[in-house]
Structures are given as structure tokens and as C-alpha cells.
Amino acid sequence: MKPENTRILDAFLSHSEEIGDDLVADTEEMLGTVPFIFPILQERPETFVLSALADYKTARPESLDARTAELIAIAAAAGAGADKCLHVHIRAALRAGATRDEILDTLQIAGLIGKTKILAVALREFREACGTKER
């Protein structure tokens, strides 16, 4: 890394604890809760602040409103089987103005994609092993 960039990064990281505390407070404001992993990860302030800052910026891109970002997070959490994330992001979506119907539709779309993923893999194997049925 260039010396100037090293100095800039070192200056930034010298404030890791304060920035980390701000990120935790902002995340609590955004989600209505603090993810349980944050206090543990904060034991390493420099890595926490870099990771949490990237996650914070990713979770609220300028191109999406909070409601839309939370609906996407719900779909991703459902697809990943992340039940604790679903719990947090469903409530965050409600806080951001999503309706019950929007959340339900998001979950149904995520389920459709999950079902299709399973069937696509399984039926390719089935077709390879069993062939196609003559009509």
C-alpha cells in the first residue's frame, strides 16, 4: 500500500472504537435492534469498523429506499435459511413502511426461487438417470 494511503487508513482506524459505536447506534436505529454478533465483533475494533461500515453502506445503497432494501434483505435471508436475519429484517421492513402483503409476497417469491432451484438440480439428475418419457 502507498505510504499516503497507509497514513490515511491508520488515521481512520485510530478512531475505530468511536466509529464502531456510531455504527452500532445507526444500525439499531435502522433495524430496531443490534445484531447479537456486534458486541462480540467489537472486541476487534479495527476489523469490526471496516466490516460493519461496508455492511452498513451495502444495506442502505443510495439507489434504493429503506423499504425496498429491507424487502430484498428478507428475500435473501429466506433464501439463505437465516431465520434470525428474517426476524430482524421483517420487523425492519415494517418500520421502513412495508406492508404485511409486501412482506408476504416477498417471501412467496423467495420460496418460488428456492423451489425452482431444488427442482432444476433434481430434475436434471432425474432426466440424466431416467431419460425422458415418450409421449
pLDDT of 78-95, one tens digit each?
A: 999 999 999 999 999 999
Measured CA distances, 113 to 36, 76, 117, 122 (Å)? 29, 11, 6, 14
pLDDT tens for each residue of 24-66? 999 999 999 999 999 999 999 999 999 999 999 999 999 999 9
74 within 8 A of 107, measured Cβ to Cβ: yes
pLDDT of residue 61: 96
Per-residue pLDDT band for 134 (boundaries 50, 70, 90) equals: confident
pLDDT of residue 1: 92
Measured CA distances, 130 to 124, 127, 133 (Å)? 10, 5, 9
Report residue 59 as a C-alpha cell: 444495506
Q: Calculate what percentage of the chain has a pLDDT beyond 70.
A: 99
Start-to-end CA distance of the chain, whole Å, equals: 65
Per-residue pLDDT band for 68 (boundaries 50, 70, 90) equals: very high
d(CA 126, CA 55): 40
